[in-house]
């Protein structure tokens, strides 16, 4: 949180406001619209893995693989570091793709 505050204090015009509506169209810069993201894990796979509703997002297939690896090698869960890394990177990419990074780049371009 300190990084966000320092960036907001040093560059308030170029930093998106977190609790406001988006100031740019989501399809700006995409003449044919954005590419539709397709879920890889099916509803049946997520139910079989007993994923909570909060975890049933675009990265659910990587979470299922990570949990399966942990179940296979338990109690040596550190052996699943690669699967965990893949899942966390997917979650981060999902977060940045959906909102903050595109808005920030548009703010930097127009302000």
The string of DSSP codes covering 31-84 is: TT-PPPP--SS-HHHHHHTT--GGG-STTHHHHHHHHHHHHHHTT-GGGGHHHH
pLDDT tens per residue across span 27-51 = 777 778 777 788 899 999 999 999 9
- 86-93's contacts with Cβ under 8 Å and 24+ in sequence apart are 86/62, 87/59, 87/62, 87/63, 90/58, 90/59, 90/62, 91/57, 91/59
Q: pTM for this structure?
A: 0.65
For residue 69, what are the domain limits? 4-108
The residue whose two tokens read 């997002």 is 57
Q: How many domains does the chain have?
A: 1
Taking 70 as the pLDDT cut, the residues of the chain under it are: 1-5, 7-8, 11-18, 22, 24-26, 99-111
């Amino acid at each position: 949180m300190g990084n966000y505050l320092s960036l907001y204090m040093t560059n308030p015009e170029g930093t998106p406001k977190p609790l406001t509506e988006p100031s740019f169209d989501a399809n700006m810069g995409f003449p044919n619209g954005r590419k539709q993201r397709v879920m890889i894990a099916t509803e049946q796979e997520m139910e079989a893995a007993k994923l909570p509703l909060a975890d049933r997002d675009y990265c659910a297939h990587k979470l299922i693989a990570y949990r399966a690896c942990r179940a296979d090698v338990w109690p040596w869960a550190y052996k699943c570091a690669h699967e965990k890394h893949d899942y966390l990177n997917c979650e981060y990419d999902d977060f940045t793709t959906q909102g903050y990074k595109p808005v920030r780049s548009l703010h930097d371009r127009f302000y």
